[in-house]
């Protein structure tokens, strides 16, 4: 594509790590820029409705601009981070603006949003306890460039946790691998999950630090090739086991921060009946079960078999907690769940969707706590909840992914008095 260069005045932030500018009446989504800046940008993509562009020269910088700490953060380089060129305070301001804008535009909700720091990574670096590398055909590892299948080879990832970097996976060759994920847990375990290329055997190199090795067999199934493949995580007094590449928050301070926020909003009372939908290995179910006590009950639903096994092991000492495998969309009916005092939902990025919103409302809970990693699907679902009598009471947002555009929200919905 012939390189098209534009001079732009950069406008507000947009969801996804972009800022919005205009050129000859068309919207331009600009990366590597900040609101208020004057930049020269090169067009990277053109559709009939808008352009995408990378700011390659900053003509008038924002006071929030800093030199990116990572040499691979910049136009045409690694796509993992979006906001390395902004101060951490400014990054949180940008994320707050995105959440507020999504709530306003998609749900008609006016709200001032503050994005809170998550303890454990003061400078916004060294927090990512799971890093997924992709492999070149010759076995070298790299990180994907933005909106591309191309790889950026790196010496080190600055947002990776030091215990992930200790493995130095990117310094080795992995012949036969399609991808390599390195995971480090709060209790000092490490695992490396290797996905082979079709019909290839992977030659696993000698690593710089000990780690379990698991082979990814697709569809969420992994088999240990060396070591147990189990990771242990501690939150407060409780230890959780997590198998292979099963879900766990990637920021070391996020699990505890989110658990505290969820319990404060859910305010579980002894004897209450609570649901933990999309429960993973049982983080919120454990806190709910301790609070509702033996007179109460917690029912967790999770679609991944390994996570269900882990959750049952993690909640063994809490007989009031029961975890079943199933997709929320069908399993609430299958298990004949008809009512709940409290419902906690923590869906993947796609959110709940209308059918699940309606099914949750049909349980007539007093409080719904919605944990979300995507403010767009959260706002869409909040609108559907509001139309069915559940209003946004309070909302907190957390910087669980510094340097990236991602943000975690916890929302409290309460039933409107009829």
Active site residues: 373
State the burial class of residue 309 (Cβ atoms within 10 Å of its Cβ: 0-12, 13-18, 19+): middle
User: Which of 328, 340, 352, 360 lies at the binding interface for ligand SAM (CB under 6 A)?
Assistant: 328
CB of 248 to ligand SAM, least distance (A): 6
Asked if residue 346 binds ligand SAM (CB under 6 A), the reply is yes
Asked if residue 265 binds ligand SAM (CB under 6 A), the reply is no
Return the residues of window 279-298 that contact ligand SAM according to CB under 6 A.
279-280, 283-284
**Residue number closest to ligand SAM, CB atom:** 280
Binding segment (CB under 6 A) for ligand SAM, from list 38-46, 99-107, 121-129, 277-285: 277-285
User: Which of 307, 379, 392, 395 lies at the binding interface for ligand SAM (CB under 6 A)?
Assistant: 307
Return the CA Rg of the chain: 22
Asked if residue 18 binds ligand SAM (CB under 6 A), the reply is no
Asked if residue 327 binds ligand SAM (CB under 6 A), the reply is yes
CB of 288 to ligand SAM, least distance (A): 11
d(CA 197, CA 179): 8
Q: Is 340 helix (H, G, I), strand (E, B) or coil?
A: coil
For 151-189, letters b (16+ CB in 10 Å) and e give: bbebeebbbbbebbbbbebbebebbbbbbbbbbbbbeeb
How many chain residues bind ligand SAM (CB under 6 A)?
17
Asked if residue 83 binds ligand SAM (CB under 6 A), the reply is no
Tell me the backbone φ, ψ of residue 407, rounded to 5 degrees. -150, 145
Beta strands 297-302 and 321-325, pairing class: parallel
Asked if residue 278 binds ligand SAM (CB under 6 A), the reply is yes
Instruction: Please state, as a whole number, how many other Cβ atoms lie within 10 Å of the Cβ of residue 349.
Output: 11
Q: Where are the beta strands (DSSP E) in 162-237?
A: 177-184, 190-196, 212-218, 221-226, 230-235
User: Which of 131, 301, 379, 413 lies at the binding interface for ligand SAM (CB under 6 A)?
Assistant: 301
Closer to ligand SAM by Cβ: residue 341 or 346: 346
Q: Which residues contact 196 (CB under 8 A, 6 or more apart)?
A: 176, 177, 178, 202, 215, 216
d(CA 70, CA 124): 12
Closer to ligand SAM by Cβ: residue 275 or 307: 307
Closer to ligand SAM by Cβ: residue 294 or 348: 348
Asked if residue 275 binds ligand SAM (CB under 6 A), the reply is no
Asked if residue 236 binds ligand SAM (CB under 6 A), the reply is no
Asked if residue 247 binds ligand SAM (CB under 6 A), the reply is yes
From first CA to last CA, the distance across the chain in angstroms is 59
Chain residues that interact with ligand SAM, rule: CB under 6 A: 247-248, 278-280, 283-284, 301-304, 307, 327-329, 346, 348
């Amino acid at each position: 594509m012939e390189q098209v260069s534009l001079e732009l005045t950069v406008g507000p932030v947009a969801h996804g790590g972009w800022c919005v500018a205009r050129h000859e009446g068309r919207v331009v989504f600009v990366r590597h820029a900040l609101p208020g800046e004057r930049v020269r940008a090169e067009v990277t993509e053109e559709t009939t409705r808008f352009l995408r562009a990378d700011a390659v020269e900053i003509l008038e910088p924002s006071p929030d601009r800093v030199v990116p700490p990572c040499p691979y953060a910049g136009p045409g380089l690694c796509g993992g981070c979006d906001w390395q060129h902004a101060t951490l305070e400014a990054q949180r301001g940008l994320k707050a603006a995105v959440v507020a804008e999504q709530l306003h535009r998609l749900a008609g909700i006016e709200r001032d949003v503050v994005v809170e720091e998550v303890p454990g990574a003061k400078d916004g670096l060294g927090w990512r306890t799971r890093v997924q590398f992709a492999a070149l055909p010759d076995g070298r590892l790299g990180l994907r460039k933005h909106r591309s299948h191309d790889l950026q080879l790196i010496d080190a990832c600055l947002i990776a946790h030091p215990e992930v970097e200790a493995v130095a996976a990117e310094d080795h060759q992995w012949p036969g691998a399609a991808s390599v994920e390195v995971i480090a847990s709060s209790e000092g375990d490490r695992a490396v999950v290797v996905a082979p290329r079709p019909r290839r055997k992977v030659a696993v190199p000698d690593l710089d630090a000990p780690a379990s090795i698991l082979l990814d067999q697709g569809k969420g199934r992994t088999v240990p090739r060396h070591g147990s493949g189990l990771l242990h995580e501690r939150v407060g007094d409780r230890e959780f086991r997590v198998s292979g590449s099963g879900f766990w928050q990637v920021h070391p301070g996020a699990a505890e921060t989110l658990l505290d926020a969820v319990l404060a909003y859910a305010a579980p009372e002894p004897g209450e009946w609570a649901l933990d939908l999309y429960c993973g290995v049982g983080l919120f179910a454990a806190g709910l079960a301790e609070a509702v006590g033996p007179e109460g009950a917690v029912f967790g639903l999770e679609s991944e078999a390994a996570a269900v096994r882990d959750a049952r092991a993690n909640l063994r000492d809490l007989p009031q907690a029961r975890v079943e495998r199933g997709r929320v969309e069908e399993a609430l009916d299958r298990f004949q769940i008809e009512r709940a005092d409290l419902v906690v939902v923590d869906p993947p990025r796609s959110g709940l969707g209308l059918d699940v919103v309606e099914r949750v409302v049909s349980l007539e809970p007093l409080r719904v706590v919605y944990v979300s990693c995507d403010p767009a699907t959260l706002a869409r679902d909040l609108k559907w909840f509001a139309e069915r009598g559940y209003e946004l009471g309070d909302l907190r947002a957390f910087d669980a992914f510094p340097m990236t555009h991602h943000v975690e929200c916890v929302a409290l919905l309460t039933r409107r008095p009829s």
